[in-house]
Amino acid sequence: MTDLNIKKSDLVGLKGKVVVITVRVCSHSCYTTGGSSGIGLATAQLLLSLGAQVVVGDTNAPPEALHATFLKTDVRVWADQVALFNKAIETHGVIDHVFANAGVAKTTSLIDDELDSNGNLKAPDLITYNVNLIGCMYTTRLGVFHLKKNPKGGSIVVTGSACSYQGFSVVDYCTAKHGVLGLVRSVKAQLPPALNIRINCLAPEWTDTGLVKSTFFRSLDVPVQGPEVVALSAALCMADGARNGQLILSKEGKFKELEGGYMPWLVTQTGGESVSIEAALAKLQLKIKEVAEAPDAEAGAEGGV
């Protein structure tokens, strides 16, 4: 685990290195979902203050004072997200960074006994999965598609949670946020380095937003940070071209990168790694290719672990 000290001046310095259309410290057109409140709004404000151009997609409009392009977007709807990315391209000609941030709180527990009118157990409400995970998958897919067209590449930042890596009794939310971290890990593994597209994950702890009301939490002596803290970690992931596949925890205003230490720890805990699962998959795919080219060769099978 690495402690991070993120200052706005770090972002300014990094941004100055990138060639852009106008004199922008941030340099980029940034596309963000869930940008009308909380962490998304704070990030949009920070990016704008750095000179970025921001396109916001959200079910709710941001405050009028936010000088960003806005398109009403439900992240669960593929066509809405396609339209939002198209709007960003129409407006700015290029997309440099994508922030998949829209999220809702829990909608189902999975262990309740709610019955339908026939007395059968009701199917679970999937809203939280659809917004927090499927919406994120849509944004990532569209993000990769558009960033491939940017000769410089770019980055995708995805909002996970401190419950992306630990159990939490809010089952649907926690499952979706685990999925978000899995998405970042696997897309990072899949993206060819030559594309220069990075993907990173944020893991905020309790943050004062539309989802979490600070006055209530503070009355219970639970520390709550401001959304501008998480915004700094989002901007850092965009600005720092060396960050890829990272998981940035923000907690009580402080930051830690968690992934760098995790994999080496996991390898030692699981008895060492002679061949990583990624390397094994590459071998398997090579073998399948050989089999396809030489039909007499022994066949392998592609699948999960």
Ligand X SMILES: NC(=O)c1ccc[n+]([C@@H]2O[C@H](COP(=O)([O-])OP(=O)(O)OC[C@H]3O[C@@H](n4cnc5c(N)ncnc54)[C@H](O)[C@@H]3O)[C@@H](O)[C@H]2O)c1
Binding-site ranges for ligand X (CB under 6 A): 33-34, 36-40, 58-60, 73-76, 101-104, 131-132, 159, 161, 204, 206-207, 209-212, 227
Q: From the candidates 72, 173, 262, 289, give the one annotated as an active-site residue.
A: 173
Question: And the tokens for 26?
Answer: 């941030």
What is the closest distance, in whole angstroms, from the C-beta atom of residue 47 to ligand X in the complex?
Answer: 15
Q: Can you tell me the distance from the alpha carbon of 50 to that of 36, in angstroms, rounded to the nearest whole number?
A: 18
177 is catalytic: yes
What is the closest distance, in whole angstroms, from the C-beta atom of residue 275 to ligand X in the complex?
Answer: 35
The tally of CA atoms less than 13 A away on the side-chain side of residue 99 is: 36
Q: Which is nearer to ligand X, 14 or 104 (CB)?
A: 104
DSSP state of 134: I
Q: From the candidates 15, 31, 106, 177, give the one annotated as an active-site residue.
A: 177
Cα distances from 85 to residues 28, 183, 231, in angstroms, run: 14, 20, 21
Q: Which residue, 225, 236, 241, 250, is CA-closest to 8?
A: 236
Q: Which is nearer to ligand X, 210 or 300 (CB)?
A: 210
Q: Can you tell me the distance from the alpha carbon of 173 to that of 125, in angstroms, rounded to the nearest whole number?
A: 12
What is the closest distance, in whole angstroms, from the C-beta atom of residue 235 to ligand X in the complex?
Answer: 15
Q: Can you tell me the distance from the alpha carbon of 98 to that of 132, in angstroms, rounded to the nearest whole number?
A: 15
Q: Which is nearer to ligand X, 25 or 41 (CB)?
A: 41
Question: And the tokens for 43?
Answer: 């990030």
Q: Which is nearer to ligand X, 12 or 211 (CB)?
A: 211
What is the closest distance, in whole angstroms, from the C-beta atom of residue 127 to ligand X in the complex?
Answer: 8
Catalytic positions are 173, 177
